[in-house]
Amino acid sequence: MPEESPPTTPIRPLHDVWLRPRRVFRDLADKPIGAVDYLLGAAQGMVSWLFLSREQGAGTTTGLAEILGTALLVGPFAGIAGLFLMTAIYSRLGRRAGGTSTRNQVFHVFAYSGVPLVASLAIWVVTALLAGETAFVKTPRADTEPFIAWLLQGQLIAHGLLIAWSYLLQVMGFSEVEGFAAGRAFKIWVLGQVLIALALFVLGVIVLSFGGDPNAH
pLDDT by residue (tens digit) across 106-147? 999 999 999 999 999 999 999 999 998 999 998 888 778 889
CB 117 within 8 A of CB 44: yes
| Average pLDDT of the segment spanning 36-58 | 93
Question: Sorting pLDDT into bands at 50, 70 and 90, what band is 179?
Answer: very high
Report how far residue 42's alpha carbon sits from residue 28's, in angstroms, rounded to the nearest whole number. Answer: 19
Look at residue 49 and tell me whether its pLDDT is greater than 90: yes
Question: Sorting pLDDT into bands at 50, 70 and 90, what band is 70?
Answer: very high
| Average pLDDT of the segment spanning 5-28 | 85
Cα first-last separation, the chain = 62
Supply the pTM of this predicted model.
0.86
pLDDT of residue 3: 46
Question: Sorting pLDDT into bands at 50, 70 and 90, what band is 7?
Answer: low
- Tell me which residue of 42, 65, 50, 46 sits closest to 152, measured CA to CA: 50
CB 106 within 8 A of CB 174: yes
- Tell me which residue of 70, 45, 50, 62 sits closest to 124, measured CA to CA: 50
- Mean pLDDT of all residues in the chain? 88
Report how far residue 48's alpha carbon sits from residue 5's, in angstroms, rounded to the nearest whole number. Answer: 33
Provide the residue ranges of all domains of the chain, joining segments of one domain with +: 17-210
Distance of CA 211 to the CA centre of its chain: 27
